[in-house]
Amino acid sequence: MMKAVEIRGQKLQTVTRPVPVPAKGEVLVKVHAAGVNRPDVLQRRGLYPPPAGVTDIPGLEIAGEIVGTKQKICALVPGGGYAEYCVVPKSLCLPLPKGFDFVRAAAIPETFFTVWRNLFDVGHLKKGESLLVHGGSSGIGTAAIQIAKAFGAKVFVTAGSDAKCKACKKLGAALAVNYRTQDFVAEVLKFTRARGVDVVLDMVGGDYLARNLKTLGAQGRHVSIAMMKGRMAEADIFEIMSKRLVLTGSTLRAQALPVKTALAKAVQKNLWPLLARKKIRPVIDRVFPLSQAQAAHDHLEAGNHVGKVVLRVFHEK
C-alpha cells in the first residue's frame, strides 16, 4: 500500500491506496517529488478529467527512482504523480540532469515539454525573432523566458505586479509589462517601434485573443495553451488576413505516447545540455510535503508565486 492524494468534493485529501502495477512497456517509480500545475487545479475542480484509462490521482510530472534498478529519473505522466509510487511509460523516463536533485527535476517535465513543443514545434520560433509570453512569472513563463532567450529570441512578458516583472527581467526578459497598470499592446508596439512580435504564447484566452493579434507583426503566430479567461473570443478576421497570421495551439496530456516519446527525446537532446551547464533552470517558488497538497493548490491559486510549486514525497521506513 502507499500514500496518495485523491480528490474529494473538489478538495485534496491524503489516503491509502494500493501500489499501482506497471503494464507492458511501463516501470514502477518510487516518487520523491511531484510538480504542481494548473491542469491539476482544473482536475480538482472537475473541469479537466483524466483521459480514459488514466488514474484519478492528480499529478503530471514526477522525479524519483525506478523500482528494481534505482535509476534516478524524471518523467511526464498522464496522472498519478501525487503519490508514493507511480507507473510511467519507459520511453518517457529521462535521467536527472547533471547536478539536479529530485525536487528541481520534478519541476521540469510538464513545463519544459510544454514550452518546447509550443515554441518550436507549433510556434516555429526562430533565432532572431521575438516572443510575447503571458503569465511570465508562472512555471511556464519562467521556463519560456530562459529557453527562448537561450535559442536566440527576444522575449517580452506580462505579469501581475512590479515585483513579478522585475523577476522576469532578471531571468532575461527584454520587456516586462505589469498588465494591471499598463496596456501591454501599447507597450509592446512602442518597444518594437510598431513592428510587433513574431510569436505570442498565450495561456489567458478570452478577450486577450483580439489584443494579442494587435501585438503580432506580419506572418506572426499565435499559440494558445490555456484559457484562464475563457474559451470563447472574438477576432478581427481582416487583421488575420492582412497580416497573414497563424492561430494555433496544443494540449499535452491527451497526446498519444509516440508523440510524447518523440517530444521527450527532443527535450533531452536540446535542453538537457543547457540544464547541465546551468544556462537554463526551473525556478522553484515553494515546496510542500505531499500531505499538504491542498495547501500547495491554494498557494498556486492565490497567484503570488514566481515559478513552480513542488510536492516533496517522504517515504516512511
Helix spans in the chain (H): 38-44, 102-106, 109-116, 139-150, 162-171, 184-191, 208-215, 237-243, 257-276, 293-302
89-93 own/partner pairs: CB under 8 Å, 24+ apart: 89/25, 89/26, 89/257, 89/260, 89/261, 90/25, 90/26, 90/27, 91/25, 91/257, 91/260, 91/261, 91/264, 92/257, 92/260, 92/261, 92/264, 93/27, 93/29, 93/66
pLDDT digits (tens, 9 = 90+) for 171-187: 999 999 999 999 999 99
Q: Residue range 68-89: average pLDDT?
A: 98
| pLDDT band (50, 70, 90) for residue 215 | very high
| pLDDT band (50, 70, 90) for residue 317 | low
* Residue-averaged pLDDT of the chain: 97
End-to-end CA distance of the chain: 13
Q: Residue range 266-283: average pLDDT?
A: 98
As a whole-number percent, the residues of the chain with pLDDT over 70 amount to 99
Strand partners, 178: 159
- H/E element holding 138? none
Say what the pTM is.
Answer: 0.96
pLDDT digits (tens, 9 = 90+) for 125-172: 999 999 999 999 999 999 999 999 999 999 999 999 999 999 999 999
In degrees, rounded to 5, the angle at the alpha carbon of residue 11 between the alpha carbons of residues 225 and 282 is 40
Ordered by start, the domain boundaries in the chain are 2-108+253-312, 112-249
pLDDT digits (tens, 9 = 90+) for 14-71: 999 999 999 999 999 999 999 999 999 999 999 999 999 999 999 999 999 999 999 9
Instruction: Give the three-state DSSP class for 282.
Output: coil
Instruction: Give the three-state DSSP class for 121.
Output: helix
pLDDT confidence of residue 155? 98
| CATH superfamily label, 2-108+253-312 | Medium-chain alcohol dehydrogenases, catalytic domain (3.90.180.10)
Q: How far is residue 24 CA from its own chain's centroid?
A: 28
pLDDT confidence of residue 154? 98
User: CATH fold of 112-249, please?
Assistant: Rossmann fold (3.40.50)
The grid coordinates of residue 27 equal 516501470
Q: Residue range 85-98: average pLDDT?
A: 98
DSSP3 helix / strand / coil % (the chain, rounded to 5) = 35, 30, 40
